[in-house]
Amino acid sequence: MNKKPIIGISGNFIMDKGGMFPGYKRAYVNDDYVKAVAMAGGIPYIIPIVNDEDLAKEQMSNVDALILSGGYDVNPLIYGEEPKQKLGAILPERDKFDIWLLKEACKMNKPVLGICRGIQLINAAFGGTINQDLSYDENCYIKHFQETSPSTAGHTVEIVEGSRLNSILSSKVTTNSFHHQSLNRVAEGFKIAARTKDGTIEAIEKEGENFVMGIQWHPEMMSSSSPEMLNIFKELIKNVKKV
């Protein structure tokens, strides 16, 4: 019997605001990531944040692919900028951890999918930059942080012809949107795979054969009702190298 691939999902921290342990730190990911991986045919594993590079590398060695999940803003010091007024909350501990996982996954040629914060982390880790708020991008006019249900498609995304993402999705899709930052300068070795009509970058791909893709919207929130969005996770799993 063929073993299903193990898909690691980078974890996050949440702080209790009340209850018995106010301020208590908990490790978690949103359940939609877990459901999407399971529906796509993988075994979902949450990878909790650790402050030890060797341990993070061991964590990565025990999974077959990596999903970098959403969450805090990426620390702008990583991409050589000082924090601007509209920067949101950052968590440097998580930035460091996610970069350890990402670099190790790439070193081991394991497929990577970055979602929302994940695309921004990938871009920053490889030398690109980020608009710390959409208001700093003079071309942005589309509403990128919707106030409707997570599974509702909010705006149009145009997929670049010939991209890997184009082979997964059609040339134009409608997606949800929950971000206040966006990619600015794309990292060397990556190419743009999708944009919105105002030019905001919605997907990037690493050049070459290895599957390293970043997506700005949240396909995991749409995957229960959208076969197209579920196909993104199926493609990640398909690219797991069989040993």
Among 104, 202, 220, 235, which one carries the catalytic annotation?
220
Residue 116 falls in the annotated catalytic set? yes
Report the 10 Å Cβ neighbour count for 63: 22
Among 144, 155, 179, 218, which one carries the catalytic annotation?
218
Phi then psi for residue 145, to 5 deg, are: -125, 90
Residue 220 falls in the annotated catalytic set? yes
Q: Both tokens of residue 2? A: 């063929």
Report the 10 Å Cβ neighbour count for 220: 31
C-alpha–C-alpha distance, residues 157 and 148, integer Å: 18
Residue 106 falls in the annotated catalytic set? no
Among 104, 116, 202, 235, which one carries the catalytic annotation?
116
Report the 10 Å Cβ neighbour count for 223: 24
Query: Do 211 and 236 touch, CB atoms closer than 8 A?
Result: yes
Catalytic residue IDs = 116, 218, 220
